[in-house]
Amino acid sequence: MEVRVGSSVLELVEGDITQQDTDAIVNAANPSLLGGGGVDGAIHRAGGPQILEECRRIGGCPTGEARITNAGRLKAKKVIHTVGPVYYRDGERAPELLASAYRNSLRLASEHGLRSVAFPSISTGAYGYPMEEAAPIALKTVMDYLREHPEIERVRFVLFGRAAYETYRRALEDLVGG
């Protein structure tokens, strides 16, 4: 499914974030930036040790912020590492921290002249954010950004499995009045 937002495109696909050919892919990292499971493990496995080397030099990333590295062997040019909230730990701050993670990732893409960005569903795995709650926040934050930043031409949400895709599809239809 895809929708236009201003002059840009927002699309939902079911797939694997490591296989995307967008200018940047976003990693759902942790504050150490030293790797982990889920998306983080898959990106470092597929991209090779160069990415981890650069992460080590950066030295970490607070929740809600983002950092950028090369993409090693991946098709994308850059990896943007962001840290989403931990649902049960961050409590009422979780929605705003989740929105910040998306916004700060997009801001880095704009600053680096990257025109297309692929996101996973941040915080909805190990960090425990229910996908039904996270999806509308993720989508609305990205749509608001795209309306003001036409330099980002395409944002692709890469959803892992049919159920995740359907959750995002329903949330997007609700937002665009489908």
Calculate the dihedral angle through the C-alpha atoms of 99, 105, 107, 113, rounding to the nearest 10 degrees.
-150
CB-based contact 76:23 (threshold 8 Å): yes
Select the span of 3-11, 117-125, 148-156, 166-174 touching ligand AR6 (CB under 6 A). 117-125
Dist CA 129 CA 123 (whole Å) = 5
Select the span of 30-38, 51-59, 61-69, 103-111 touching ligand AR6 (CB under 6 A). 30-38
Nearer CB in complex with ligand AR6: 132/148? 132
DSSP three-state, residue 159: strand
Nearer CB in complex with ligand AR6: 136/151? 136
CB-based contact 1:169 (threshold 8 Å): yes
Nearer CB in complex with ligand AR6: 52/151? 52
Select the span of 6-14, 32-40, 49-57, 147-155 touching ligand AR6 (CB under 6 A). 32-40
Show the tokens assigned to 2.
């895809």
CB-based contact 119:105 (threshold 8 Å): yes
Residues at the site binding ligand AR6, with contacts judged by CB under 6 A: 16-18, 28-30, 36-40, 42, 84, 120-127, 158, 160, 164
